[in-house]
């Protein structure tokens, strides 16, 4: 079977589609850090139904956001696609802790805990008050057989979760 030739109008359609997507990214809101944190908590393969309705609504308004696309791919178990979307976000903003965290999640489940730890470490450096980044590092350390570091990181994450007294 010979593939049909590409229509002459296809490049123009692709340019217009990219322009529309660029405008949509400017108009549609970026998910809040609280929403991304909550999604990361429940966003594990098979846990899609556990995402609260309010976060689903926010995700629906952020459909073209690479972070949301990456989390959705991760939830489906498509770690390579998730890695791609998180990479797109990092290409736009290398200081996005949630893109680094998502990259770590994908790498961890792709069997690369050392690389995952580097991604989680970058996320933790960018957002030091977020315990999920330390949890990710703890999981990566445990996967590498470093239980002492994993225990320290879990303790540090638990400390961040404790309510602060004024």
CB-side neighbour CA atoms (13 Å) of 147: 0
Q: Counting beta carbons within 10 angstroms of the beta carbon of residue 152, is it exposed (0 to 12), middle (13 to 18) or buried (19 or more)? A: middle
CA distance 38 to 71: 11
Is the whole-model pTM more than 0.75? no
Number of residues that make up the chain: 166
The model's pLDDT over 80-99, given as tens digits with 9 standing for 90+, comes to 999 999 999 999 899 999 99
> Distance from first CA to last CA of the chain, Å, rounded?
72
CA distance 158 to 131: 7
Per the prediction, the chain carries an average pLDDT of 79
> Which residues are CB-contacts of 108 (< 8 A; sequence separation ≥ 6)?
116, 136, 139, 140, 143
Residue 163 — very low, low, confident or very high, per pLDDT cuts 50/70/90?
A: confident
Q: What is the greatest pairwise CA distance in the chain?
A: 72
Tokens 């929403």 sit on residue: 35
Region 116-140: mean pLDDT is 94
CB-side neighbour CA atoms (13 Å) of 150: 12
Please state which of the four CATH numbers 1.25.40.10, 1.20.1260.10, 1.20.960.40, 3.90.1280.10 is assigned to the domain occupying 37-161. Answer: 1.25.40.10
The model's pLDDT over 22-46, given as tens digits with 9 standing for 90+, comes to 665 565 555 566 666 665 655 455 4
CA distance 127 to 132: 10
CA distance 109 to 111: 5
Question: Does the pLDDT value for residue 64 go beyond 70?
Answer: no
Tokens 């994908």 sit on residue: 106
* pLDDT over 70, % of the chain: 61
* pLDDT over 90, % of the chain: 44
List the one residue out of 120, 125, 114 whose CA is nearest residue 135.
120
Residue 152 — very low, low, confident or very high, per pLDDT cuts 50/70/90?
A: very high
């Amino acid at each position: 079977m010979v593939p049909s030739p590409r229509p002459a109008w296809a490049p123009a359609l692709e340019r217009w589609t990219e322009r529309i997507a660029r405008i949509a990214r400017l108009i549609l809101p970026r998910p809040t850090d609280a929403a991304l944190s909550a999604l990361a908590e429940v966003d594990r393969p098979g846990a899609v139904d556990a995402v609260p309705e309010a976060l689903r609504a926010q995700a629906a308004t952020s459909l073209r956001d690479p972070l949301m696309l990456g989390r959705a791919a991760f939830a489906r178990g498509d770690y390579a696609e998730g890695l791609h979307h998180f990479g797109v976000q990092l290409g736009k903003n290398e200081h996005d802790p949630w893109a680094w965290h998502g990259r770590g999640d994908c790498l961890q489940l792709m069997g690369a805990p050392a690389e995952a730890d580097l991604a989680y470490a970058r996320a933790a450096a960018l957002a030091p008050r977020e315990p999920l980044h330390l949890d990710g590092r703890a999981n990566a350390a445990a996967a590498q057989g470093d239980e002492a570091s994993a225990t320290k990181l879990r303790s540090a994450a638990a400390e961040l979760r404790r309510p602060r007294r004024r």
